[in-house]
């Protein structure tokens, strides 16, 4: 990895006992954007199912992988344990990447990390982007939502709330850029998704779990919210997506058929309007920060003394 900036960037990641089919793709997608990876393994297992993937990552090869082990209490505790690892780094990072193990970035993440973060003045405490939220298969999304992506390191930061955890103590304003990446967490075998929702419910989520963990109803109920995704997927995810398309082919076929045939004209119109609204928000970010938007596209390389 070539590092052109003096800014140090870390990523604090959490993995548990649940399957993480996108983990290898996730790690590969950030290899050139992040210097150090710290991981809280809260599986509580003697041999974590994710250690093999972590040890095969570019971070392990570079000697910049740090893993701690713990049991799972709740999501805030999980985040705090991962964050605590950053205090032991030398040097401590300037910025930290917020990342889940089912999010995959494209090549623009390197430009964001290496060309933009180092030029932001101290009034900016975090950088947000947007994520495509896939649901059911890789051909359907529910929305393109604003997403917390990077934040300045401060040892006083902590997380609260057992579920839908929130960061506390963040200083500075948020910069929102027209940067979009992919979230695949809701493309999984029905049982995997059902178990995840049951775990959320036990921690206080208001949505009760499904009775039959093999039922596809969990996908079918979203028929009024989904819309087709016709864009590209990140190169880092290509092998993972190809594998899952084969492994889950019968499930994907049923979901795709239901979404194509079960959406009424009104559902299609509503989904299109939501999509137009979301795309407009991102387009406005281009107008709000034209130089940064051009830098993300690789059409402008600011000088080292530029500040935004």
User: Does 202 map to a domain?
Assistant: yes
Closest CA to 200 of 159, 163, 167, 165: 163
pLDDT one-digit tens code per residue, 53-106: 999 999 999 999 999 999 999 999 999 999 999 999 999 999 999 999 999 999
Residue 299: predicted pLDDT: 61
Q: What does the alpha-carbon distance between residue 212 and residue 92 come to, in Å, rounded to a whole number?
A: 47
Structure tokens at 291: 């130089």
- pLDDT tens sequence across 133-145: 999 999 999 999 9
- For the stretch 156-175, pLDDT in tens is 999 999 988 999 999 999 99
Question: Can you tell me the distance from the alpha carbon of 34 to that of 299, in angstroms, rounded to the nearest whole number?
Answer: 22
Q: Sort strands 227-228 and 9-15 into parallel, antiparallel or unpaired.
A: unpaired
Residue 182 lies in a domain: yes
Burial 185-196 (b: 16+ CB within 10 A, else e): bbbbbbeebbbb
CA distance linking residue 183 with residue 173, whole number of Å: 25
Please tell me the distance from the alpha carbon of residue 112 to that of residue 175, in angstroms, as a whole number. Answer: 12
* Count of other CB atoms within 10 angstroms of residue 266: 9
Q: What is the pLDDT of residue 301?
A: 54
Question: Cα(285)–Cα(42) distance, rounded to whole angstroms?
Answer: 37
Q: Is residue 270 part of a domain?
A: yes
Structure tokens given for 37: 């990876």
Q: Answer whether residue 114 is part of any domain.
A: yes
Q: Which residues contact 29 (CB under 8 A, 6 or more apart)?
A: 104, 105, 106, 109, 234, 236, 237
Q: pLDDT (tens digit, 9 = 90+) per residue, 187-210? A: 999 989 888 888 888 888 877 776
pLDDT band at 5 (very low <50, low <70, confident <90, very high): low
What tokens appear for 253 in the block? 């076929």
Residue 196 has what pLDDT? 87
In a domain, 308, yes or no: no
Task: Domain of residue 152: give its range.
Answer: 1-301
Task: Tell me the backbone φ, ψ of residue 294, rounded to 5 degrees.
Answer: -70, -40
pTM: 0.93
In a domain, 5, yes or no: yes
Q: Is residue 307, in this structure, part of any structural domain at all?
A: no
Residue 266 has pLDDT above 50, yes or no: yes
Q: Which residues contact 57 (CB under 8 A, 6 or more apart)?
A: 24, 27, 28, 31, 37, 65
3-state helix, strand, coil in the chain (%, to 5): 40, 25, 40
Q: Which pLDDT does position 224 carry in this prediction?
A: 95
Residue 259: name the closest of 295, 223, 211, 294 by CA: 223
> Number of structural domains, the chain?
1
pLDDT at 206: 76
In whole angstroms, give the CA distance from residue 111 to residue 125: 18
What span, in angstroms and rounded, lies between the C-alpha atoms of 48 and 107? 29
Residue 68, number of CB atoms within 10 A of its CB: 14
Residue 137 within any structural domain of the chain: yes
């Amino acid at each position: 990895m070539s590092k052109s900036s003096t800014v140090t960037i870390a990523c604090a990641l959490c993995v548990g006992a649940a399957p993480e089919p996108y983990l290898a793709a996730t790690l590969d997608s950030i290899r050139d954007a992040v210097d150090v990876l710290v991981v809280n393994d809260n599986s509580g297992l003697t041999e974590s199912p994710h250690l093999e993937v972590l040890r095969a990552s570019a971070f392990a090869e570079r000697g910049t992988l740090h893993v701690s082990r713990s049991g799972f209490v709740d999501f805030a505790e999980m985040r705090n344990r991962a964050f605590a690892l950053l205090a032991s780094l030398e040097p401590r990072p300037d910025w930290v990447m917020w990342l889940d193990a089912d999010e995959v970035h494209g090549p623009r993440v390197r430009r964001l990390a290496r060309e933009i973060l180092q030029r932001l003045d101290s009034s900016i405490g975090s950088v947000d982007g947007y994520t495509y939220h896939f649901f059911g298969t890789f051909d359907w999304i529910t929305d393109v939502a604003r997403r917390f992506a990077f934040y300045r390191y401060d040892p006083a930061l902590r997380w609260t709330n057992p579920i839908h955890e929130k960061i506390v103590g963040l200083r500075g304003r948020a910069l929102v850029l027209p940067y979009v990446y992919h979230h695949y967490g809701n493309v999984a075998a029905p049982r995997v998704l059902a178990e995840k929702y049951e775990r959320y419910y036990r921690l206080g989520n208001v949505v009760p779990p499904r009775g039959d963990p093999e039922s596809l109803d969990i996908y079918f109920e979203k028929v009024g919210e989904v819309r087709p995704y016709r864009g590209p997927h990140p190169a880092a995810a290509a092998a993972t997506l190809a594998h899952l398309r084969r492994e889950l082919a019968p499930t994907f076929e049923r979901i795709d058929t239901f979404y194509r045939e079960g959406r009424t004209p009104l559902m299609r119109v509503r989904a299109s309007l939501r999509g137009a609204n979301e795309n407009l928000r991102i387009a406005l970010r281009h107008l709000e920060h034209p130089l940064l938007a051009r830098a993300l596209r690789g059409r402008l390389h600011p000088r080292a003394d530029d500040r935004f």
